[in-house]
Amino acid sequence: MAIEPPPPGPQHGRAQEVGPNDDIGFHNGGVEHHFLPGAGAMVGPVVDWIRLCVPLFPDVALTPLQRVAGAVDFANGISHVLPWESYLFVNPDLTLHLFRPLRGEWVGMASATHHGSMGVGMSDTAVFDIDGRIGRSCQSLLLDRR
């Protein structure tokens, strides 16, 4: 059985920070994002390669699972469809299905966010490494006006 090929790798993307950057946090100091061309203003579906840059514990290398779990938590933020300035979108849960371990440090994500009119949404993400598809993640979202 063939593995679904990955999108073009992180070297084809452009580095960009994600979300509000008023304070230093994990989202803008602990990871690298390389968005593939076509990401535009990062509203709507997007392909992003993410690399975690800091360990969970000093002097302990990140495991492949830790790298994927840390990256896929960004799905709703990288593919948001509502403006950061007007809405909060909290992900109360995250489901991750992997059928093989990550190879390398970069996690590729083809993410889309969807929402209804009742304050509920979801992100849906295909997850890749440089060799191909490794799984899928989904997040439930609670949406609220700021």
Q: What pLDDT, in 10s, does the model give residues 101-118?
A: 999 999 999 999 999 888
Q: Is residue 4 part of a domain?
A: no
pLDDT (average), residues 11-20: 76
Expressed in percent and rounded to 5, the helix, strand and coil fractions of the chain are 15, 40, 45
CATH (domain of 35): 3.10.129.10
Structural domain of 36: 10-145
Region 24-30 average pLDDT: 71
Output the pLDDT for position 69.
96
Confidence of residue 19 (pLDDT cuts 50, 70, 90): low
pTM: 0.88
d(CA 140, CA 76): 9
In the Cβ-directed half-sphere of 123, how many Cα atoms lie within 13 Å? 36
Compute how many other C-beta atoms are within 10 angstroms of the C-beta atom of residue 30: 13
What's the total number of domains in the chain? Answer: 1
State the pLDDT confidence band at 22, using cuts at 50, 70 and 90.
low
